[in-house]
Amino acid sequence: MKSFFHVQDIGDLGKALEEAKQVKATPYAWQHLGKNKTIILVFFNNSLRTRLSSQKAALNLGLDPIVLNVNGDSWKLETRMGVVMDGDKSEHLKEAIPVIGSYCDLIGVRSFAGLTDKEFDYNETILKQFIEYSGKPVISLESATVHPCQAFADLFTIEEYKTKKRPKVVMTWAPHPRALPQAVPNSFAEWMNAADVDFVIAQPEGYELDPQFVGNARVVYDQMEAFEGADFVYAKNWSAMNPYGQVINKDMSWTVGARQMAVTNNAHFLHCLPVRRNMIVTDEVIDSPRSLVIPEAANRVVSAQVVMKRMLEEM
């Protein structure tokens, strides 16, 4: 695996989930793989789970993690090509990336969508530069359009808790005070479409995601209708594609509460976190025994470890 962005990068999903199970059961069984190897984790944005789970996954594999907080610890990096660097950015990615690549064996990058220039974001301009200039395998730790480590952990969590072969999984938009990227819902949709689940997207009009990620998913504009008989409810806010990166609706009737959960098949509740309580989901639902947000977050170590393990095995 030269890079980890899309569900196809992990290959056969059944095999990947089986491997995730093994990694979870015996996390230290592959300590030899990472010996004398280094992963550099580059953060352009905030992180709690991704930062900690990636470091933990690396340590489990005997791999040394180094974390770089761009905008905090390092020079501010210019990401655009051909610009006169007369502003606050001291160094260009074209130098910074090969330098980072020369110090490590694997690279993970967190770089959120800017949400102003759709083309820049949807071309994955920053991550592509990491691939091109580093010469090292690159893992998206949530880039402009995808968050594959999250989606892999989500799928593994569903696999662990499902009680029927083909569960109904509903991803619902929910209100949020700020404009958020589409990366999490894009990846969740992409991975659910590839998995053996009955997948439905519930959203208000105007929140349609990019067709390459929606695929063949059923899109339902009536949240109560979508929730009927659901086995898993995955809540997430995202901003609109058109006008790009804008909040066009804050309808609080979409906050996931007992009213919607009542029509499900006693569904489990999932969210990638961080979550805004009583915006995205009520206290009652997130604090209920059907909420899986903590085991879901714990599985972030597992998904990251499978990806790093595969990359190390191919070296």
Cβ count within 10 A of residue 65: 21
Residues 97, 76: Cα–Cα separation, whole Å: 13
Which residue lies nearer to ligand SN0 by CB, 48 or 81?
Answer: 48
Which residue lies nearer to ligand SN0 by CB, 60 or 186?
Answer: 186
Residues at the site binding ligand SN0, with contacts judged by CB under 6 A: 142, 178, 180-181, 183-184, 272, 274, 276
Position with the least CB separation from ligand SN0: 180
* Of 179, 197, 180, 175, nearest in space to 252 by CA: 175
**Rounded to the nearest whole angstrom, what is the least distance from the CB of residue 234 to ligand SN0 in the complex?**
13
Which residue lies nearer to ligand SN0 by CB, 255 or 264?
Answer: 255
3-state secondary structure of 72: coil
**Rounded to the nearest whole angstrom, what is the least distance from the CB of residue 238 to ligand SN0 in the complex?**
7
Q: Catalogue the long-range contacts made by 253-257 (C-beta closer than 8 Å, 24 or more residues apart).
A: 253/223, 254/172, 254/173, 254/174, 254/175, 254/204, 254/223, 255/174, 255/175, 255/279, 255/280, 255/281, 255/282, 256/172, 256/174, 256/280, 256/281, 256/282, 256/285, 257/281, 257/282, 257/284, 257/285
**Rounded to the nearest whole angstrom, what is the least distance from the CB of residue 50 to ligand SN0 in the complex?**
7
**Rounded to the nearest whole angstrom, what is the least distance from the CB of residue 272 to ligand SN0 in the complex?**
5
**Rounded to the nearest whole angstrom, what is the least distance from the CB of residue 30 to ligand SN0 in the complex?**
26
Which residue lies nearer to ligand SN0 by CB, 33 or 275?
Answer: 275
Which residue lies nearer to ligand SN0 by CB, 104 or 153?
Answer: 153
